[in-house]
Every structure is written in C-alpha cells, then in structure tokens.
Amino acid sequence: MWHLTMQEKKAYENAMKLFIYESDEEWTDYLSYAKENDIDPYKEKKQELDEIRDSLMNYLPLRFQPYVLDGTLNTPDVPKHIREDFLGWRNEQEQLFENILDATYEEKQKTLAYMEPKAREVFEQSLHDATIVSIQRNATQVELTFDMAGGFTAKSIIYLKFNNIISELGQVEPAQFYIYDELRKTANGIALRVIFDCPEVEWTIEAEELDAEFYYRPKTYSDFAENGNFSTYVQTLQLEHGLIFITPQLKKRVIGIQQHAPFLILENSHLYENDQGIFVDTIRVADKLEDCIHFLHTDTYEDPYAHFSEPVPAQDLEEAALGKDLELKVRAWNTMYANPVLLAEKINQILMQMNPAQEDDMMQNVFIRHFYNEGILTTELQAKFNDILEE
C-alpha cells in the first residue's frame, strides 16, 4: 500500500490555502500596518477569501463553513476559539502530510540497497523540481530524461530507464515537474510513484529493473550560459572528461573539438549549420550555435568553485584578505579558516586592521566565531569583536 497519494497531497495543500494570523498580537500589528499604508484590511481579507471560497466549502470541516459564508474566518472578528480550532486543524493536516513524507523516505532508504549503483546515487539525492525533457517508449521499456537545472543536485541531466515494465498507471508528458516520490522494492522488481506538476498527475510504474544514467555541466558552463560565445566556450572544454551532446531528440558522444565551425566532431554523426539552423545529420536541434552551449554535458563532475579553495601563501595573506580582488579575498579567508592554529599570528594581525563597522556582517560573524572557538583570538581582539561574540 502506497503512503503517497494525490488525495493526501491535495488535502495538505487545501489546508494551507487560507492564511490566518495566529495571535492577537499579529492581528494588531497587521491592522497597524494597514492603517499606516492606507489599506482597507477587511476588503483585503474579503478578496483573499472570495478567491478560494468555493474550494474551502468543498474540503473544510463543517464546523468552519459558517465562518466562510459570513466572511469572518480570516478576519480578527472570528471568535478566538474558532480561530484556534482552525489553526489546530490546519497544523494536524500539515503534520499528517509530514508523516507521509517521512514514511516515503523510510521506504526509499530500504529500497536503495536493492538498486544498481547509478540508480541508487540518483535516489539518494533528490529529483525534486526536475523537468521532463523527453519520454521514449517501446513495448517493454520506458525512458524518462530529466533536466536538473531547477533541481537540488550537481547533475545536469538524468535518465531513468524502466526495463520489463509490469504495470503503469497515470500519464506523463514533457515539461512536467517532478514534485514528490515514493520508491518501493516489490516481489517483481522496483516500483516508483511520482506526483508531477504542470499538469498535476499521479504516476505509478513497476518494472523488473530500474537503471539510471547522469551527466554534469562542464565547470565553465556558468560563465557562458547567458550570452556566451559557442566557439570560445568549446575551447574551454576537456575531451578527457567525457563530453556528451544531448538534446531532447538525441544523445551523441563528442570525439573531437575543432578551431572552426561547427567546432565539435560527434561520434557517427555530423553537426553542421546552414541558413535553416543547426543540425545533427537530418535533425534540426537549434536556431544557432550559441543555443548548443546548453547541450553539452560531461561524464565527470568538475567543481566550478574549486579555485576558491586554492590556498594563498602565508606571506600573501594580509594583502589578499584586505584587498579588493574578490576572488583572492575569498581564497585568503578560506585559507585562514582551514588553518586557524597554524596561521594564528597572521590572522590576529589582519583582524587588528579591520574595522568591524565597515565589513560584511555575515562574513565577520562566521570567521570571528570560528577563530574564537579555535582559541586563537587575543584578548584585545575579543574585546574589539565583543558584540559579535555576545550575539
């Protein structure tokens, strides 16, 4: 039996639709704000209620519905015991859905042990907010391609391939967003349930095998993603990291980089440009070469921020930490953060030259507290940064 269902998701979302201030103090603050800003609070609350009145009447417990009909449920005029009862009910609905998500997490953890390494890695992380790029099907197999640009992983493209399908319920389509999932080990293989959005659908599939492939963005991608020059971009790429050219229609290995257009040599295919656009063999893939910046991925993850961890020599720390070169400054402070005891004398010299009122508050809080916890700050510096240390 599945923990995750569309019905449970909608119940949670419906419970969260109507915003209500939770205390008399919050209502007082809101009414004061409304008065200062020439806002009619009752008109504003009426508009909010009217927008969702019909759906509220469909799912709210009967005891709250009279206060929807008379328009007071989301105003300070609703009886306090009704407001507290409503907030308690809403908190219960929220907790119920959190319990469901906890149960799906536990189910997933049990299932991971039965999965192939790449598929396990994908589900150990998150597919939340992934977008379906394409869907390929045959009689026994479904392959979904996901763009991870809006997701929570360093991976840029993920393929999920379901082999020897046993059952499938629900309809998926390109451009849908992956929201929630539940993964289960079954007697026959692996089952996955996903709630997608735009349009909203509950999709459940069971297959004997679930395989995965994934790729990453080259580390220079962010420098060229907007208004980049394709010819310059490809010269920053490294073939030894395993370059892949991926579009919604195809996936081709890059086996060479040239100095002239179209700059890439694809395995067993021909990339070219004409007045109709960019083509791979007979398939049109883009309007112009610059669009192809987004089609390049690698087998190997390259940390685009790795250079910030390169240490600065001790003799250069003071100039770097107090200078205006932002990248060098970040490297200097990261160097000191990683070696507080070894660099204690140099750190204290640098901190003595800093003006607490002119530095970035967040940066100061992080580093000053770290150096204090490491026991390297002099008594004079502890007094100088006393406001931070007492927070």
Q: Kind and range of the H or E element at 100? A: helix 80-112
- The pLDDT of residue 189 is 96
Does 258 have pLDDT greater than 90? Answer: no
Q: Cβ distance 64 to 82 under 8 Å?
A: yes
Give per-residue pLDDT as tens, 69-112: 999 999 999 999 999 999 999 999 999 999 999 999 999 999 99
d(CA 153, CA 164): 28
Give per-residue pLDDT as tens, 46-59: 999 999 999 899 99
What's the one-letter identity of residue 123?
F
User: Under 8 Å CB-to-CB from 88, ≥6 apart: which residues?
Assistant: none
Q: Cβ distance 149 to 217 under 8 Å?
A: no
What's the one-letter identity of residue 305?
Y
- The pLDDT of residue 358 is 61
The residue ranges of DSSP E strands in the chain, in sequence order, are 131-137, 141-147, 155-169, 177-185, 190-197, 201-216, 243-246, 251-257, 264-266, 271-274, 277-280, 283-286, 296-298
Q: What length is written for the chain? A: 391
Copy the structure tokens of residue 230: 């394709």
**Smallest Cα–Cα separation from 138: which of 164, 167, 160?**
164
d(CA 19, CA 28): 16
CA 98 from centroid of its chain's CA atoms: 19
Give per-residue pLDDT as tens, 27-38: 999 999 999 999
Copy the structure tokens of residue 263: 């700059």
d(CA 132, CA 115): 22
Does 364 have pLDDT greater than 80? Answer: no
Copy the structure tokens of residue 332: 């200097």
User: Under 8 Å CB-to-CB from 380, ≥6 apart: which residues?
Assistant: 352
Task: Kindly tell me the sign of the dihedral angle through the C-alpha atoms of 146, 243, 331, 360.
Answer: negative
Mean pLDDT of 158-179: 96
Q: Cβ distance 371 to 354 under 8 Å?
A: no
Neighbours of 271 (CB within 10 A): 21
Indicate the pLDDT class of residue 387, thresholds 50, 70 and 90.
confident
